Homo-oligomer: A and B are copies of this chain.
């Protein structure tokens, strides 16, 4: 499925960010992931649970059902499943057939996120979850604002395409965050089997308006920013500003650092989930400022949602996959897509 080849949707034996921890409570919640319905809830002692969200009897959504203690009881005929997915009660009969069960997805609560493993539970190695400290989420040098959820009105890969190629900042986000001149700086790319990074440095540019205001600084800056995707779900990026090493009163002095976190998870074939957070090293105790900056980022993300909606609608109306022109700035995108395809092909080969 474009932009991946036909027959390729998404890898399953992977950790995906499923929800903000505080979205999941005692009241069950339904969320589709990888085109499967998932029922989320917490047990009485607060542990988050993710079960296959379709009762195997008549396909009623468990995520729209109710809890009885730590178990979830299908609202239709009362068939009840434990947090392990075992059926513990069929009200209309004594015996429970072995086939009557739902998948229990490995679910890990880390930092403020719930990570889900949609594939073979035997392969769900928690050490594969990106190191939250390494990417700055738990670094006290940063104040992190979080909690934003966007429903993506298009296939998940359109969002990866979006984040792989940040040259869109100056256009789609022209009136908000903007960007420098990408044609004059080189992109530093690197990747492994399940990560890919892109970094750029803009030396001695005018301080962007947003930051000029925040820092009370109108001079020249060196700006470094980049993004690293931990396949298949989390893009962790940074945007660091320094006083210009070549043209300022205090060459190389840190003005401020921002980290951004974009988590993308396939919902259905044509929709996705988007969880956003950011961290900052400035005005760390100014909560109102932090929330306002989060609101600004959310407005930017809504511009991405607009682009995604338009492109998904374009593809749907065309009814065929149109040819695509690849640019130099797509090098990360092309490599990133190949990593996705490679993960999927490996699973298909098993």
Residues of A at under 8 Å CB distance from B? 32, 35, 37, 54, 56-61, 64, 73-79, 90-95, 97, 99-100, 161, 165, 167-168, 170-172, 181-183, 268-269, 307, 310-311, 314-315, 317-319, 322-330
User: Which of A54, A57, A171 is most buried by chain B, counting CB atoms within 10 A of its CB?
Assistant: A171
- Taking the closest CB of chain B, its distance from the CB of A101, in whole angstroms, is 9
Q: A93-B329, A94-B183, A167-B92 are in contact. Are A314 and B59 (CB under 8 A)?
A: yes
- A93 close to B165 (CB less than 8 A): no
Contact of A92 among B54, B61, B100, B183 (CB under 8 A): B183
Whether B328 pairs with A183 at a CB distance below 8 angstroms is: no
- Please state if A60 and B325 are interface contacts (CB–CB under 8 Å): no
Contact of A91 among B57, B182, B324 (CB under 8 A): B182
Q: In the complex, A268→B79 CA distance in Å?
A: 31
Contact A100 B58 (CB under 8 A): no
Residue of B75, B78, B310 near A60 (CB, 8 A) is B310
Q: Determine if A325 and B73 form an interchain contact, defined as CB atoms under 8 angstroms apart.
A: no
Residues of B within 8 A of A330 (CB): 57
- Judge whether A317 and B32 touch: CB under 8 Å: yes
Chain B residues within an 8 Å CB radius of A93: 183, 327-329
Q: Is the CB of B58 within 8 A of A311?
A: yes
A324 and B58 within 8 A (CB): yes
Report chain B residues within 8 Å CB of A325: 56-57, 97, 99-100
CB-CB under 8 A from A324, the residues of chain B are 56-59
What B residues does A171 contact at CB under 8 A?
73-78, 91
* 17 additional contacts (CB under 8 A) given A32-B317, A35-B317: A35-B318, A56-B325, A57-B324, A57-B326, A57-B330, A59-B311, A60-B311, A75-B307, A77-B168, A78-B167, A90-B183, A91-B183, A92-B165, A92-B167, A93-B329, A99-B325, A269-B319
Question: Is B92 a contact partner of A329 (Cβ separation < 8 A)?
Answer: yes
Residues B322 and A77 in contact, CB atoms below 8 Å apart: no
Partner of A161, one of B58, B170, B182, B268: B58
Interface centre among A35, A167, A268, A330 (most CB of B within 10 A): A167
Picked from B73, B99, B314, the residue with its CB within 8 Å of the CB of A37 is B314
Asked whether A59 and B315 contact (CB < 8 A) given A54-B322, A182-B91, A182-B92, the answer is yes
The 9 residue pairs across chains A and B that have the minimum distance between CB atoms: A92-B329, A78-B171, A92-B167, A93-B328, A56-B325, A92-B182, A100-B325, A77-B168, A59-B314
- Please measure, in the bound complex, the distance between the C-alpha atom of A182 and the C-alpha atom of B35, giving whole angstroms: 35
User: Please, which residue of chain B has its CB at the minimum distance from the CB of A32?
Assistant: B317
Q: A183-B94, A325-B97 are in contact. Are A314 and B54 (CB under 8 A)?
A: yes
- Chain B residues whose CB sits within 8 angstroms of the CB of A76 once the complex forms: 168, 171-172, 307
Residues of B within 8 A of A92 (CB): 165, 167, 182-183, 327-329
In the bound complex, CA of A64 to CA of B311 (Å): 11
Instruction: Determine the distance from Cα of A323 to Cα of B76 in the docked complex, in whole angstroms.
Output: 17
A80 to chain B, nearest CB (A): 10
CA of A35 to CA of B90, assembled, Å: 36
Q: Which residues of B contact A322 (CB under 8 A)?
A: 54, 56, 59
Between-chain CB contacts (< 8 Å), 21 pairs: A35-B319, A54-B318, A56-B323, A57-B327, A59-B311, A59-B315, A59-B322, A60-B311, A61-B310, A73-B171, A75-B172, A76-B172, A77-B172, A90-B183, A91-B170, A92-B327, A92-B328, A93-B183, A93-B327, A95-B328, A268-B317
